[in-house]
Homo-oligomer: A and B are copies of this chain.
Amino acid sequence: MNRLEGNWWSEPCEEHGSAFSLKVKSRLHEEQTAFQKIEVYETEKFGNLMVIDGFVMLTSRDNFLYHEMMSHPALYTHPAPKRVLIIGGGDCGTLREVLRHSEVERALQVDIDEGVTRAAEKYFPELCESNDDPRAELHFADGIRWVKEAAPGSYDVIIVDSTDPIGPAEGLFGEPFYGDCHAALGEHGLLVQQSESPLYHMRLLGEIHRYMRKAGFADSHTLHFPQPVYPSGWWSATLARKDGPIEGFREADAANRPFATRYYSPEVHQGALALPPFMKEAFANLQT
């Protein structure tokens, strides 16, 4: 048997019998907030690692994959994304990517736990470099209530950058929440939900689509991308459009984007939308 020896931090995914580990130098931060336990480690090769309740949230090295794919596909699909709401996303990485879009006039980040943002400011300062942008608003509040109380049609894009659907984030994966998102979105409005692993979580992925459609969204589509530090190393985001098909990708704008990306490009965007046959079949079966 091969066993890990040395200073490894491991996240087992018992349900699927796999685990991912990072070699760490030291623990930089440990805090029990009113909502969850936040830890930050210095790793050997992945920069800093943030852990919440024992689950990897992000590392310095590979978070670009997730943050770019949670932001740019939706923002380049909406015709005029001016008002963006991020639910969760306390590490501010999604906010930074959203604010790269000059069309955005107002970007609100609503995370229930201020502790996440304070830890990110200290240990992931690069992700927080846009927090002082005059278009940014950081709120520390219950995202479910925030969306429920939002004025109808008040956002163009809502990005649900949440933890897994257990604990505080569970209510972010259901039909009532999606219904409130639907009401809070304006014409052509887009919802983005981080939607777990295509290899591990097809049942949840199917439920996300079903709940989105039941909540009134006219169309939904999953895109997939690598994310080494999450279970299976393969992750997804699911887009839903309030009032019509998910089309109108502003491909020329994406190609001429005036900012650098490391993973995202128009070609990668299109590639991420190409679903392998096993995913297509699973979605087809779930919809009957």
- Give complex CA distance A12, B8 in Å: 10
Quick one: CB contact mask for A7-33 with B, threshold 8 Å, 1 for yes?
Answer: 111111011111111111001000000
Q: Is the CB of B234 within 8 A of A261?
A: no
Interface residue range, chain A: 35 or more
From DSSP, what is the main secondary structure of chain A's interface residues?
Answer: mixed
Chain B residues within an 8 Å CB radius of A7: 1
A252 within 8 A of B: no
Instruction: With CB as the reference atom, state the residue of chain B lying closest to A281.
Output: B262
Chain B residues within an 8 Å CB radius of A264: 276-277
Q: Is the CB of A263 within 8 A of B234?
A: no
A226 within 8 A of B: yes
Interface residues of A in 258-274 (CB under 8 A from B): 260-265, 267-268, 270-274
Chain B residues within an 8 Å CB radius of A1: 7, 9, 24, 27
Chain B residues within an 8 Å CB radius of A62: 199
Identify which of B24, B46, B265, B273 contacts A276 (C-beta below 8 A). Answer: B265
Chain B residues within an 8 Å CB radius of A21: 4, 10, 12, 18-21
Chain B residues within an 8 Å CB radius of A278: 262-263
Interface residues of A in 87-114 (CB under 8 A from B): none
- Give complex CA distance A3, B9 in Å: 6
| Chain A interfacial positions (CB closer than 8 Å to B) | 1-4, 7-12, 14-24, 27, 43-46, 51, 54, 61-62, 198-199, 224, 226-228, 232-234, 260-265, 267-268, 270-278
